[in-house]
Amino acid sequence: MRSVVRRSALLFLKLMKRNDIPEFSVLPKHIGIIMDGNGRWAKKRGLPRYEGHIEGAKTFRRIGEFAADIGIKYLTFYAFSTENWKRPKEEVDAIMQIFREYLLEADDRKKENEEKGISLRFIGERKGMPADLLELMENTEKQSRDKSNVILNIAVNYGGRHEITQSVKEIARKAVKGEISVDEIDEDMISKSLYTGGIPDPDLIIRPSGEYRISNFLTWQSAYSEFWFTDVLWPDFSEEDLIAALREFEKRNRRFGGV
C-alpha cells in the first residue's frame, strides 16, 4: 500500500512539473501545519485510531515534498504535543513506532534528501522521549545539518507555552549570572532563545479537520501569522488543498499593525 501511495504522489508531481509548478504572486517563507484529524479519519472507517496516524504519516511525506517543490523554504509540522501523552497507551505507542519508522526511512533516503538540500530538525522537549528515538533524531539532524534549501521542522513532544517557559528560564539564568542585564531582554532575545531561533516566524498556519484553534502550537511565533482552516481531515489533505491555502494567502493584506 505504501508503494502505491508513493507512486501516486510521484505521478502527480510529474504531471505538475510537466505543466510547471503553480506560480504564485507571493509565497510564505514559513508554513506551519497542524496535522489534525487522524483519529477521526480512522473512526469514520471503523478502524483503530493508529491506522489514521499511519495514513497521516503518508500525507506528511507527500505534502512536505510538494511544498518544498513549490518553493517553501521553512516547514514546521505539529506531530505530537506535550498533551498527547494523555492519550491511550496503545495509540501513543503506535505514534512513536510510526515516528521510529519515519526516521529509519529518512536514513534510507539520506542521499535523496541531500540532493534536495533538506535539513531535518526536531523541535520540542526531548526529555521523556524514548532513548532509541532520541538517538535516531540526533543522527538525522547531524546528517542534514549543513543543508539549507529546505528547513523541515517536526514538532515532537512540543508545547508552545512550555517552549516560552524554557526560554524565559534560560534568559533568567543568564541574568542571574550577570551575563545580561534586565534591560537587554527584549522580544528579539526571546525569539532567538526559542526552539525556532534563527528561523522566520510562520507566515501561514494551516489547520485541517474543522477545528479553529492553534492548540499550543508556535504560540509566540504565530503572533502575526495568517491562518487557513479546512474541514478536510489530515489523511485526506491533498496537494490541491495546499494550493487552495496558498491562493488564499495571496489575497491576504498583511499590515502587521499598520494601515
> Which residues are part of the catalytic machinery?
36, 84
Beta bridge partner(s), residue 226: 204
**Residue 221 in grid coordinates:** 511565533
Contact 159, 83 (CB under 8 A): yes
The number of residues making up the chain comes to 259
Q: In this structure, which amino acid lies at residue 88?
A: P
CA distances 218 to 194, 196, 221, Å, are 10, 9, 5
Residue 130 CB coordination number (10 Å): 13
Residue 22: CB partners within 8 Å, gap ≥ 6? 16, 70, 243, 246
Q: How many helices (H) and strands (E) does the chain have?
A: 9, 6
Q: Give the integer Cα–Cα distance in Å for 32 and 144.
A: 20
Q: Residue 70: which H helix or E strand, with range? A: helix 49-70
Residue 174: CB partners within 8 Å, gap ≥ 6? 180
